[in-house]
Amino acid sequence: MGQREFIKQVPNRLTGVIIGLVFYYNAEFLSEAAPSNWNEFIEQNMQLIGVLLVGLSILKLSVDWYLVTSDDGFEEKKT
């Protein structure tokens, strides 16, 4: 992966982080709109989805950044 491909992927990963934060912070308010016996379940699951989206997006962004910065010229040696 080159730097251009990495730069093209950054907005997608940041979108995942933003959507995850929206899920996490709005979980309490959206759970209040549900029937009373589902409040806790919906809140916990929306927080879980938000944390997973943020975590996985940051992990993917970090791994891609590492692969771009630690390019040891394998592609050049191959050809």
Least confident of 36-40, 62-66, 69-73: 69-73
Is pTM beyond 0.85? Reply is no
- Burial of 3: CB neighbours in 10 Å, binned 0-12, 13-18, 19+: exposed
**If you ran DSSP here, which 8-state letter would residue 73 be given?**
S
Which tens digits make up the pLDDT trace of 42-55? Answer: 999 999 999 999 99
**If you ran DSSP here, which 8-state letter would residue 53 be given?**
H
Helix (H) or strand (E) holding 4, with range, is helix 3-31
Boundaries of every domain in the chain? 3-70
